[in-house]
Amino acid sequence: MIEKAKAFAAKAHEGQVRKNSDVPYITHPIRVAERLQKSGFREALICAGYLHDVVEDTLVEIEDIEREFGKEVAELVAAHTEDKSESWQERKQHTIDTVKSAEKEIKYLIVADKLDNLLGLEQDLKKQGDIVWNNFNAGIDKQKWYNESIAENMYTGLDEEDIPEYFRKYELAVQRVFR
C-alpha cells in the first residue's frame, strides 16, 4: 500500500513545483513519508505522509483517498488538510489547535510536514536571501508566530517515549530560521 500511495501522490502532484524553486512538488511528500517510515510508524501513517497534500493542492477529494486507501488513511489526511475557503490566519490557527489537541499520529504527520517545509525554507533563505518571503501569503512575522506556535504545542499530551526525534529537529530549525 505504501508504494501505491507514493505513485498516487506522484500522479496527483504531477507538474507542480515547490515554492521558490523548480523542484518537483512530489519531493516534499516523499521526504515527509520517509521521515515517518524511518521513525518506525505504521503503514497507514506513512501512506498519509505521501498523500497529505493531495486533497489540499490537487483535484483529488478525500473520498478518493478513502476509496483507494481506506478510512484510516483518509482520516489522517483529512485531519491535516486545510480548508482553503478560510483566511491564512484561520487555517494556521486551526493547525496549531489541531497539533495541540490531536491524537499522536496526527501530530507526527503535521510536524513531519512542517519540519520538511521549514528545512526547505532554510535552504531557500541561504541561496536566495530574504526575497523568498515575497512568495508567502504571510510575511516573516506571521511565519515566525505560526512555526513557534507549532513548536510550543506539539508536545502537549505526549509522553516522553512517544516523542519522535524529529520533533527536536523541528524546534531547532524554528530557532535557526526565526532567531
Average pLDDT for 14-32: 92
3-state secondary structure of 125: helix
pLDDT tens-digit profile of 156-179? 999 999 999 999 999 999 999 998
Please determine, for residue 84, whether its predicted confidence score (pLDDT) is greater than 90. Answer: no
Q: Which helix (H) or strand (E) holds 1?
A: none
State the pLDDT at residue 135.
82
Task: Report residue 155 as a C-alpha cell.
Answer: 508536545
State the pLDDT at residue 136.
84
DSSP 32-81: HHHHHHHTT--HHHHHHHHHTTHHHHSS--HHHHHHHH-HHHHHHHHHT-
Average pLDDT for 11-30: 92
State the pLDDT at residue 125.
93
Phi, psi (degrees; rounded to nearest 5) at 62: -60, -30
d(CA 65, CA 55) in angstroms, rounded, equals 8
Interior/surface letters 34-65, b for 16+ CB within 10 angstroms, e for the rest? bbbbeeebeebbbbbbbbbbbbebbebeeebb
Confidence of residue 55 (pLDDT cuts 50, 70, 90): very high
Show the domains of the chain with their CATH numbers.
2-178 (1.10.3210.10)
Q: Could you list the active site residues?
A: 56-57
pLDDT tens-digit profile of 66-82? 999 999 999 999 999 99
pLDDT tens-digit profile of 107-154? 999 999 999 999 999 999 999 999 888 888 788 999 999 999 999 999
d(CA 158, CA 100) in angstroms, rounded, equals 10
Predicted model pTM:
0.96
Confidence of residue 50 (pLDDT cuts 50, 70, 90): very high
Average pLDDT for 16-41: 94
Confidence of residue 4 (pLDDT cuts 50, 70, 90): very high
Greatest alpha-carbon span in the chain? 44
